[in-house]
Structure 1
Amino acid sequence: MKSKTAQEKLYNRYYRLFIIPMIFLLYYLLSYLVNPFSPYWSSLSSSNLKELLVEGTIMMCNCWLITELSLILARWMDQLIPWEKRPLGRFVVQLCCQLIVVFVVLSILFLLVLPLIFGREVVEPAVTTVEKIDEWQFVFVCVMLSILISAVHTGNYFLKRWKTSMLEASQLKLNAAKLKEIAMQAQLQSLKLQLDPHFMFNNFSTLSALITEDSRTALSFLENLSRVYRYMIINLNNDIITLKEEIKFIQAYIYLIKIRHGDHVDIDIQIPENIMSMGIPPITLQLLIENAIKHNVASGAQPLHIRIYQEGAGTITVSNNIQLISYNIPSTKLGLENIRNRYLILSDHTLEIRKEAGAFLVTLPLLEFKK
């Protein structure tokens, strides 16, 4: 707060250093434009240096006083009658107050200051029409300068409000984007945590059966299961991994499939090397393989064939032959919906699910992977 106040004071100081000399110059410019044939210009041109300095000092003080009072009046009106609430009333009241302020300043100038400097015998009321016109010209120019100062202040006021509103709007958009990102990350984290039960439910039953049937194979199965599970834990904090990493994980995961199903499940991976650096949500392929095995018959007479291959540019497809089991299996409904939701959060793309020629196909868009 202190630094802001110091900055405002510095700004106001430079603001006055700029505007007061400008008002001083504008006074003479407007006076000349209003009446370039006034005798005042002839007398001014014939004045000596001392007279010019006295004249300039008096007018500079006059301009400074009008400027300060106009700015004080405008700031006071900003608090009393803001432009946003009553613009017409503000205009009328401020104009009347400015006229009063200018007449008071000029009255002090004519009745006190000038007689004190030049003596009362020098400062006499205007008697000729030309002198009266010059006096009213002087009053008119001072009023115009006061209005101009208020207009500049008002323009500066609205410019600051506009900048403030733009900054506030930008900040609100930034905060909204941050909140949206936080919400999306929380949702994504929740979706990734759902992977664990979906994976573990299918393997613990196999491990339980192996313990009683073949303890050595059960031990090997458990070791590989721990390796796969460790991979899942490591990638829990990753939103996207390379396709190469996912394929490496799947190849390790195939060992568990072979223990569980033997040759009844055939998994064929045909992915070209040139797309291995593309990204994919972690454990996506494992979910699709589990989904295919869970809902289809896999036996010696009816082996389940699962293929993972590139079907089009920027996509890979996971397909399996459809041979649905004849009874209902309890489902957590986390597989395809989980993958779909993660794609919606991470990108504008989504997976494509279709059935054709007796096969169930899921096409996954490949994402850009950034380290």
Structure 2
Amino acid sequence: MPDNNVTQQKLFNRYYRLFIIPMIFLLYLVLSYLVNPYSKYWSLLFTRPWEELLTEWAVMMLICGVITEFSLISARWMDKRIPWEKWPLKRFIAQLFCQIVSVFILLRILTFVLTMIFGPPPDVSNNGPEKLDEWQFVFVCVMLSILISAVQTGNYLLQRWKTSMMEAAELKLNAAELKQIAMQAELQSLKLQLDPHFMFNNFSTLSALIEEDKNMALSFLENLSRVYRYMIINLHNDLITLREELKFIQAYAFLIKIRNGENVDIQTDIPEAFQSRGIPPITLQLLIENAIKHNVASTAQPLHIRIYINEAGTLTVSNNIQLIPTNMPSTKLGLQNIRNRYRLLSDQSTTIKEENGLFMVTLPLLDF
């Protein structure tokens, strides 16, 4: 970035000299006329010999060039020692003072040099109009010096602004990339939390089935591997379609039926139009597992779990509340997992509430 700025500044200075000196000369003529349009100089302008006029203009071009070079040098010197960013008021006063003083010094030096070359100028100490023209010339040169410095300073501040904007954009991009990496890492960590809870419950059931019914154990193991394969495949997916999740739930419901028989009733009612929307993978499995973990499910008190689209067009998972009496506090790991994943994936949040004897979790459907 700094090398690019240096290159741009060098190019600017090169073209600056190419165009600014003739422009400053023309501006000098305009300002001189505006300051005193009744000067004798203008009435005699077109009656003087062209050689004398060209010589005078060449000298004035030289003066404009010297003023331009000194303005650039002094501005660069001050950029290092009194930068605008740190001391704007101090820099403004110092630069203005430097420009005024330097013009007087430069004009004295140029007058001395020109006197050595062309001889002394006529004495105008007692000539009011000529003395006025001399001071007007000095005034115009000071104004030109300030203008040159202002243009150079404006370019410097513009380059600094562009650099700051590019650096800010780069920092913002880096921050976004770091945030994305952090989000992915957190998502992976949250997803991995699912496995111990899931596997513990189902391996316990499988262990019991092996002793009771080996054929059923084989069928259970086959469906368990199918479910677990789904979880592995979607470990690196932040979103899947609701259709895929429902197919997974159908396989998972088989495991639930083996584990709980008719004590757990799982029903789904999802219109086809909503099944192409997105949902974090394994979300429904977590909610079903959570309902079974915390509620009584027996022949006398069957647990009814319903998955449906509510009137607001969002996905709802509900179950009747019949809590298992226990002194063990709930970790609420499953619900927190779902909340965290929605927080990372969108600005929409889940809603959890109890109403009319039902525990309901509302999940926004996301777009890919």
**TM-score, normalised via structure 2 length:** 0.91
The Cα of 1:140 is off from its aligned counterpart by 1.4
Work out the CA distance in 1 between the residues paired with 2:274 and 2:228. 26
Q: Using the TM superposition, name which of 327-336 and 267-276 deviates more.
A: 327-336
Aligned pairs for 1:1-371 within 5 A:
4-113=5-114, 115-116=116-117, 119-120=118-119, 123-126=121-124, 128-327=127-326, 333-368=332-367, 370=368
Q: Using the TM superposition, name which of 20-29 and 2-11 deviates more.
A: 2-11
| 2:24 and 2:64 in contact (8 A); partners too | yes
The Cα of 1:100 is off from its aligned counterpart by 3.3
The Cα of 1:154 is off from its aligned counterpart by 2.7
- Give CA deviations for 1:111-166 in whole Å, capped at 9, x if unaligned: 223552xx327x33325222222212111111111122222223333333333333
| 1:287 and 1:335 in contact (8 A); partners too | yes
The Cα of 1:21 is off from its aligned counterpart by 2.2
- Give CA deviations for 1:94-113 in whole Å, capped at 9, x if unaligned: 33432332223222332223
The Cα of 1:311 is off from its aligned counterpart by 1.1
The Cα of 1:91 is off from its aligned counterpart by 3.9
- Give CA deviations for 1:158-202 in whole Å, capped at 9, x if unaligned: 333333333333433333333333322222221111111121111
The Cα of 1:86 is off from its aligned counterpart by 4.1
The structure-2 alpha-carbon separation of the partners of 1:264 and 1:93, relative to structure 1 and needing over 3 Å to count, comes to closer
| 1:267 and 1:307 in contact (8 A); partners too | yes
| 2:21 and 2:64 in contact (8 A); partners too | yes
Work out the CA distance in 1 between the residues paired with 2:75 and 2:243. 69
Q: Which runs of 5+ in 2 are unaligned?
A: none
The Cα of 1:328 is off from its aligned counterpart by 5.3
Work out the CA distance in 2 between the residues paired with 1:169 and 1:226. 50
The Cα of 1:207 is off from its aligned counterpart by 0.8
Work out the CA distance in 1 between the residues paired with 2:86 and 2:339. 51
3-state DSSP of counterpart to 1:55: helix
The Cα of 1:283 is off from its aligned counterpart by 0.5
| 1:350 and 1:364 in contact (8 A); partners too | yes
| 1:198 and 1:334 in contact (8 A); partners too | no
The Cα of 1:3 is off from its aligned counterpart by 5.3
| 1:198 and 1:332 in contact (8 A); partners too | no
**TM-score, normalised via structure 1 length:** 0.90
Q: Which runs of 5+ in 1 are unaligned?
A: none
The structure-2 alpha-carbon separation of the partners of 1:330 and 1:232, relative to structure 1 and needing over 3 Å to count, comes to farther
The count of residues paired between Structure 1 and Structure 2 equals 366
The Cα of 1:32 is off from its aligned counterpart by 0.4
CA RMSD, 1 decimal: 2.3
The Cα of 1:41 is off from its aligned counterpart by 1.4
| 1:353 and 1:361 in contact (8 A); partners too | yes
Work out the CA distance in 2 between the residues paired with 1:156 and 1:314. 56
